[in-house]
Amino acid sequence: MRDLTLEVQRGVATISINRPTSRNALALQTMAELDQALDAVQGGRARVLAIRGVGTKAFCAGGDLKELERIRSAVDAAAMALRMRTTLDRLPQLSIPVIAGLNGDALGGGAELAVACDFRIAASHARIGFAQVTLGIMPAWGGTERLAELVGRGRALHLLLGGHVISAADALRVGLVEEVVPGEEFDTRLAELARSIAAAPPATIAGIKHSVDALRPHRHPELTAAAVEAFASTWAHPAHWKALEAMEKRRQAKK
């Protein structure tokens, strides 16, 4: 794989997004590779999966806008959204726990990836935010429903409509992450946590995850079509492209 690495050691599978020059943003190739990596994990003997980014700055900065902005039609935007939403839906359906290791910022689609995992551990310097509204679009990959399930309706709307990017400490306070550790201790703690889970019998791990999911259903297939259609319409709307142009002008002005 070009954009991801997959390692399995002592029952711990680790998928690392390896695009540090793009702040580990997800290109179409990255999305396809994530699906392939999940195939390998599902067919292997790992007892826990950790997903993280390479480096210390970014877990995942979202979709790679330089590539994705080539998608102009609502039909193509809907197809992209459905593919990635389907991939993220696979995470809670795995029989093994999936940890999001927020080694750095999780923004936009990166935040959607984080909340699709079973739980999250963050480095203290990491930030998380659903800032899609600032680009005139909505989350594409099921993040709205997953966020509301995690933090409640009011907090979800506050984060989504305000486009707020919050610190790891604030994310812990509102229940968006489950643990925060100092940046210099992050790699050690993530490995320690994953190994402790992997040490439990596979049937125990699978049983616990299944029981928790039975209480709070993790997937709402009946919402998919409407959510994908709503995203696609915002993506194709002129307001989205005007917001992208304004963002690029601000970026150029800072150089």
Cβ neighbours of residue 158 closer than 8 Å, sequence gap 6 or more: 164
Residue with more model confidence, 121 or 250: 121
Q: What is the mean pLDDT of residues 160-179?
A: 97
Residue with more model confidence, 229 or 95: 95
pLDDT of residue 219: 57
CA 143-147-149 angle, to 5 degrees, is 120
pLDDT of residue 220: 63
Q: What is the mean pLDDT of residues 171-192?
A: 98
Question: Strands 98-102 and 48-53, how do they pair?
Answer: parallel
Residue with more model confidence, 221 or 237: 237
Residue with more model confidence, 235 or 140: 140
Q: Are 4 and 15 in contact (CB under 8 A)?
A: yes
pLDDT of residue 151: 96
Report whether pLDDT(173) > 70. yes
pLDDT of residue 246: 86
pLDDT of residue 198: 96
pLDDT in tens, 44-97: 999 999 999 999 999 999 999 889 889 889 999 999 999 999 999 999 999 999
Residue with more model confidence, 114 or 67: 114
Residue owning tokens 């100092």:
182
pLDDT of residue 54: 98
Q: Are 79 and 28 in contact (CB under 8 A)?
A: no
**Domains of the chain (ranges, CATH numbers):** 4-198 (3.90.226.10)
Rounded Cα gap, residues 73 and 46, in angstroms? 40
Report whether pLDDT(196) > 80. yes
3-state secondary structure of 96: coil
Q: What is the mean pLDDT of the chain?
A: 92
pLDDT of residue 227: 75
User: Which pTM does this prediction carry?
Assistant: 0.90
pLDDT of residue 190: 98
Confidence of residue 217 (pLDDT cuts 50, 70, 90): very low
